[in-house]
Amino acid sequence: MEKTNFFYLLGALLFMLIAFPLSQDLGLADMPLTRTAVFTVLLLSGVWSLRGGRLYLAGFAFVIIGIALSVLAANIDRAFLHFAATLAICGFLIIAISHTLKQVLFGTVMNVNRLVGAICVFLLLGIIWSFAYSLLELAVPGSFSGFDAGEDPGSDSSWLYFSFVTLTTLGYGDITPESATARTLSFMQAVVGQFYIAVLVAGLVSAYISDKQGS
pLDDT average, residue stretch 172-181: 91
User: Residues 178-214: pLDDT tens digits?
Assistant: 999 999 999 999 999 888 887 776 777 776 666 666 6
Q: Is 6-214 a domain of CATH 3.40.1080.10?
A: no
Give the start-to-end residue ranges of the domains of the chain: 6-214
Distance CA 42, CA 67 (A): 11
With the C-alpha atoms ordered 19, 24, 27, 32, is the resulting torsion angle positive or negative?
positive
User: How buried is residue 179: exposed, middle or buried, by Cβ count under 10 Å (0-12/13-18/19+)?
Assistant: middle
Question: How confident is the model over 124-143, as pLDDT tens digits?
Answer: 999 999 989 988 988 888 89
Predicted pLDDT of residue 96? 84
Q: Please indicate, yes or no, whether the overall pTM of this predicted structure exceeds 0.85.
A: no
Maximum average pLDDT range among 11-15, 41-45, 162-166: 162-166
154: confidence class by pLDDT, cuts 50, 70, 90 = very low
Give the torsion sign (CA, 93, 78, 38, 142): negative
Residue 28 pLDDT = 63
Q: Residue 173 is which amino acid?
A: G
CB 140, CB 181: distance < 8 Å: yes
| Alpha-carbon Rg for the chain in angstroms | 18
d(CA 213, CA 215): 6
Q: Give the model's confidence band at 16: pLDDT under 50 very low, under 70 low, under 90 confident, else very high.
A: confident
H helix runs in the chain, sequence order:
6-25, 31-49, 56-75, 79-106, 112-139, 158-167, 180-195, 202-214
